[in-house]
């Protein structure tokens, strides 16, 4: 991936880790394969990409910016998503650790933590009924779901010069949902 990007563009200035793997499953019913699949995609994938791009940025000596996409339940938890919540919490810890380690190399490492975002792929996997959509909407103080552009705008800010003094931080984009405890108190009938 890194070699192909360098061949095409000459160097890498920005990495966005947008790894996602999730499905609703009670913790007691989650198989080791289900756990490992999500941890492999989200946590391991984010680390391997960050390490590969970070090595390039360090060797190049010009700095850069890495942004990982989390989920607001990385710190609130969420019924039925123990695998994803743990993986995203790991990416949060990775973000903060790399921010400290790579700051001397002028590499900023941040994250965006979306809440409910209108997305056809996620909707099919996670919110298959109008009742679950309505219940989740009721947990958002702004009483609406975010749009993909809301997340893209947050990432654009974090990789821009406007955020040149921001590293190791998480920008939460969830309409205030985390303030009400996230999804954790919902009876999702998992």
Gap between the Cα atoms of 7 and 53, Å rounded: 14
Catalytic residue among 73, 157, 162, 165: 73
Residue 183 known to be catalytic: no
Residues annotated catalytic, as ranges = 73
């Amino acid at each position: 991936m890194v070699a192909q990007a360098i061949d095409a563009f000459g160097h890498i200035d920005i990495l966005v880790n947008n790894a996602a793997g999730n499905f609703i499953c009670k913790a007691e019913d989650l198989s080791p394969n289900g756990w490992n699949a999500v941890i492999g995609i989200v946590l391991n994938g984010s680390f391997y990409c960050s390490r590969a791009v970070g090595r390039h940025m360090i060797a190049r000596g010009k700095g850069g910016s890495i942004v990982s996409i989390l989920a607001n339940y990385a710190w609130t938890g969420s019924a039925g998503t123990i695998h994803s919540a743990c993986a995203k919490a790991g990416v949060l810890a990775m973000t903060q650790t790399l921010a400290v380690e790579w700051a001397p190399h002028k590499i900023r490492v941040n994250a965006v933590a979306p809440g409910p975002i209108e997305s056809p792929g996620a909707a099919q996997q996670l919110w298959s009924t109008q009742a679950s959509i309505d219940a989740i909407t009721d947990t958002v103080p702004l009483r609406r779901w975010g749009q993909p552009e809301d997340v893209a705008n947050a990432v654009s800010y974090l990789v821009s010069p406007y955020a040149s003094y921001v590293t190791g931080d998480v920008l939460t984009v969830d309409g205030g949902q985390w303030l009400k405890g996230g999804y954790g108190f919902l009876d999702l009938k998992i």
